[in-house]
Amino acid sequence: MGRGSEVKKAHLIKWEAICEAKSNGGLGLRKLVLLNKALLGKWVWRLAIDRDDLWKQVIIEKYGQEGHGWRAKKAIGTIGVGVWKEIWKESDWCWDNMGFIVGKGNKINFWTDAWCEDTRLSQRFPHLYAMAAHRDATVEEMWDQNFGQGGWNLRFLRDFNDWELEMIGNLLHVLRSYKPSMEEDSVRWKGGRNGKFRVKEAYRVVTRPNDIGFPSRSIWVDSVPTKVAFYAWRLLGEGAHS
């Protein structure tokens, strides 16, 4: 009778810990809510890369477009807009993780799109952006082919003070590796292999994994029995998630 009190209780681990990536000490199980966000995000990506697909034409015709056709406008109303409204909600985090590849430059905003080193020039050079004569200009409009082999024609509302010249120098230094071409503009997924969107990588983005390292490669090894690996994971997890 007295032995019952000596029976060890099962060790419980928080669901949040289990859903962490293996590299962060979890088992890599996916949360359905976040997985759904990643799956919906794929349609935001497809809207940007699919040029003449019928489904995109229907969406653009029904809701309108913005951003030179890379994005559709927000669905207004309550009837017949449920699916697209849910997809549109994922636009912000998707576009935060997408960048542009300059081709002709006619569909990319020079200042406000992330095309130059994956950053928006308006954020990197806010003072110059405030002085810009044409804040909505495209990359193509800021390039002057008449400058020898071509060059950037940066237009501002006034002449520069001496202390502002360094900013212009820094901007030109950033731009030196870029020039329009005859290719079409395109988009890329910043964290994706070959610049392509993958649900697995998008899921990592929406989960925002912590930065604490975890020796997953030393635990989940093919030659180690699963029970042994699981036991090691549990022991280390007690310290990592306690």
Taking only the tens place, the pLDDT of each residue in 69-95 is 899 888 776 655 678 888 999 999 999
Average pLDDT over residues 165-170: 90
User: Residue 209: its pLDDT value, please?
Assistant: 45
Q: Mapping DSSP to helix (H, G, I), strand (E, B) and coil, where does residue 27 land?
A: coil
Domain ranges, residue 112: 107-186
pLDDT beyond 90 at 169: yes
Residue at 1 is within a domain: no
User: How many structural domains are present in the chain?
Assistant: 1
Report if residue 239 sits inside a domain: no
Q: pLDDT confidence of 212, banded at 50, 70, 90?
A: very low
Q: What is the pLDDT of residue 240?
A: 45
Listed in sequence order, the DSSP H helices in 110-198 are 121-124, 126-131, 165-175
- In this prediction, residue 220 has a pLDDT band, given cuts at 50, 70 and 90, of low
Residue 242 has pLDDT above 50, yes or no: no
Q: Is residue 30, in this structure, part of any structural domain at all?
A: no
Asked if pLDDT for residue 9 goes beyond 80, the answer is no
The average pLDDT across 208-223 equals 54
148-158: pLDDT as tens digits: 788 999 999 99
Q: Alpha carbon 106 to chain centroid distance?
A: 22
Read off the pTM.
0.71
The answer as to whether 195 is a domain residue is: no
Q: Which amino acid is at 99?
A: G
User: For residue 238, what are the CA distances in angstroms to 31, 87, 197, 242?
Assistant: 21, 38, 34, 5
Instruction: State the Cα–Cα distance between residues 21 and 209, nearest whole angstrom.
Output: 7
3-state secondary structure of 24: helix
| Residue 45 domain-assigned (yes or no) | no
Q: How far apart are CA 34 and CA 238, in angstroms?
A: 25
**Helix, strand, or coil here: 192?**
coil
Write out pLDDT tens, residues 90-138.
Answer: 999 999 999 999 999 999 999 999 999 888 999 888 989 999 999 999 9
Q: Does a structural domain hold residue 180? A: yes
| 144 belongs to a structural domain | yes
Q: Is the dihedral of CA 122, 126, 128, 131 positive or negative?
A: positive
Q: Which two tokens stand for residue 97?
A: 């993780």
